[in-house]
Amino acid sequence: MTIATNKTLTLEEYLTYDDGTGARYELVNGVLVEMPTESPINKTIVMFLVSYFLRLGIPYYRLAVGHQLEVTSEQASAREPDLVVHSEESAAAILRDGKLLRLGMPVPDLVVEVVSSSDTDPISRERDYVEKRQEYGARQVPEYWIVDPVAAVVYVLTLVDGNYQECKFEDDQILMSPEFTAVNLTAAQLLRAGL
């Protein structure tokens, strides 16, 4: 849903925009576009991953919900992944600058998107599977996970020579992560958020 505003917003105006509704927006060519409401399992999956990465020894300050990456595409000016696993450098950069990793700043080690309503919302599916894949690849994010609870699949995309190579995981297949070799999770465990 596009939100009517009297003017197009700059990236700086977008970063401080708050209409008091609690809605999440992305900025597309200066226009606010409301993000769809997430299923409760999506947030549970993200919190499960946060706790899992903490148990793996990743420091809390490298795990973030609500941080954004500036991107260069026709679809958006900034993206807000469901979960960001920062590198030491990107964590330091965003703590200095606010909630946005601007172009030219260090990139995180991993971004995770939990797909919302992939069976009924083709726009949401296109955004997570195609648009964000291109945008995160252009930013040189080394690893991108697409977690799709409806399709019961997890994709681990690894940046190789500027393009993502994808591995698909279902059921009891153990996720293989080049960035996080200690991960010992099956697709089913992640999709059920450990429940």
> Residue 110 carries which side chain, given as an amino acid letter?
L
- Torsion sign across C-alpha atoms 104, 66, 9, 127: positive
Identify the band that residue 1 occupies on the pLDDT scale cut at 50, 70 and 90: very low
State the CB neighbour count (10 A cutoff) for residue 79.
22
What percentage of the chain exceeds 70 in pLDDT?
A: 93
pLDDT at 40: 80
Residue 33 has pLDDT above 50, yes or no: yes
Say if strands 83-85 and 63-64 run parallel, antiparallel, or are unpaired.
antiparallel
Q: Note whether 185 and 52 are within 8 A (CB).
A: yes
Average pLDDT, the chain: 88
pTM for this entry? 0.86
For 18, residues 6+ apart whose C-beta sits below 8 A from its C-beta are: none
Domains and CATH numbers, the chain: 1-35 (no CATH), 36-191 (3.90.1570.10)
Cα(70)–Cα(105) distance, rounded to whole angstroms?
10
pLDDT tens-place string over residues 39-72: 788 899 999 999 999 999 999 999 999 899 999 8
Q: Note whether 179 and 168 are within 8 A (CB).
A: no
pLDDT at 64: 96
Unique residue bearing structure tokens 């591995």: 167
